[in-house]
Amino acid sequence: MGFQNQTSASEFLLLGLTQDPELQRYLFGLFLAMYLTTLVGNLLIVLVIVSDVRLHTPMYFFLANLSFTDVCFVSNTVPKMLVNLHTQKKAIPYTGCMIQLYFLVSLVALDNLLLAVMAYDRFVAICRPLHYTTIMSPRLCILLLVPCWVLSILYGLTHTILMATLTFCGHREVSHIFCEMYVLLQLACSDTRINPAVLIVTGCLLFIIPLSFMVYSYVRIVKAILKIPSAAGKYKAFSTCASHLTVVSLFYGTLSMVYLQPLKTYSVKDSVATVMYAVVTSMLNPFIYSLRNQDMKGALRKVLRRKTVL
């Protein structure tokens, strides 16, 4: 039975990356391994930060939130993708597609805002070290975190509601691994002009402005580091920012591969780039933050020793 005959008026078909059964089995094993690695890595980060008093600082508080967001992010898309690869059943209900889209859009925005807040934390730590404890108080950390969640929720609701107002007719084959905004807009048969316009406006507010702030913060941070007289001091200062800078580069690099292009040029090949920011980035974050961080490695060893003894 062809995909066209399998599609009802109330569902979409997620075609994924390939229709080759042999390759799908390989992809199932690959994505399962990546998903489990992402879950274990990010949950370990959260567990270590919560359990070690020495890590109860603003930087690790925001890192724990970032790891939790990454867990939610991959859990929103990868399990359904694994089911599709294993069962060969590609259908996803219309409601399930809209829910998946909502969490996808919201969590990408939240990741972005958290990275901006973490950049501010590093800016204060390097440029205002004597006032760091006073400025980055627990109250300010909460005041920075709450707007991140609120704005990301509103961002997701805005685009999901706009998508829900569109009419989809004809084939509903989504050449993607999940319900992605660009692909759904291409399938709509009603007027979609307002959706890209709102996407540009809200994208500037929630992505371009935070990115500009991060660039400004790191320009100031680099200037401050260059003023440090000793090479050891410069290395120590830069090492506290290196992990965050790597994650920011990976996040925006993969995101720009997908979204910095006209809607009409979006094609199947962009699914690979989407996998990068939807799965690979979340998987690599725990390694990036733990391998170069002595405090994290020490706390992780302590937690693992404790579990082994128990």
Question: Whole-prediction pTM value?
Answer: 0.88
Homologous superfamily (CATH) of 3-309 is: Rhodopsin 7-helix transmembrane proteins (1.20.1070.10)
Which one has a higher pLDDT value, 231 or 211?
211
pLDDT (average), residues 65-77: 93
Residue 8's pLDDT is 46
Residue 268's pLDDT is 53
Which one has a higher pLDDT value, 140 or 254?
140
pLDDT band (50, 70, 90) for residue 266: low
In the predicted model, is pLDDT for residue 138 greater than 90?
Answer: yes
Which one has a higher pLDDT value, 218 or 54?
218
Residue 172's pLDDT is 77
In the predicted model, is pLDDT for residue 50 greater than 50?
Answer: yes
Residue 5's pLDDT is 40
Residue 3's pLDDT is 42
Residue 6's pLDDT is 42
In the predicted model, is pLDDT for residue 135 greater than 90?
Answer: yes
Could you read off the pLDDT of 156-179 as tens digits, one per residue?
Answer: 999 999 999 988 876 777 777 788
pLDDT (average), residues 203-231: 90
8 Å CB contact between 296 and 290: yes
